[in-house]
Amino acid sequence: MKKCWLCRSWIPHYQHEFVGLCIETEEFVFEDEYCNLFELRKLEGEFIWCSSCKREINAEDVEQHKSMGHKLFSAVFMDKDYREEIYEG
């Protein structure tokens, strides 16, 4: 099945995970689209983003989250101005 959310180039928006950034085209793309650049995602890295829990998890916890049906990604997209939404201190 080809869907952007399964593609290695697609990283989900951290809050609204139905939309994400394609790092190949640098465009916002919806999860249910795809293009001819599609390549199946493999989870890589020490920390993995769990979009169901909305937090980073350690690589050793991946299987546990997978077993609960959580959506896991190697990275997450934050709006560039998200810091303006956070209180200092």
Q: Which is nearer to another protein, 42 or 80 (CB)?
A: 80
Place of tokens 């085209």: 25
Closest approach of another protein to the CB of residue 59, in Å: 18
Closest approach of another protein to the CB of residue 84, in Å: 7
Q: Which is nearer to another protein, 42 or 84 (CB)?
A: 84
Give the list of residues 6+ apart from residue 22 with CB closer than 8 angstroms, or none: 4, 7, 9, 10, 28, 29, 37
- Residues making contact with another protein (CB under 8 A): 13-16, 18-19, 27-30, 50, 52-55, 68, 70, 78-89
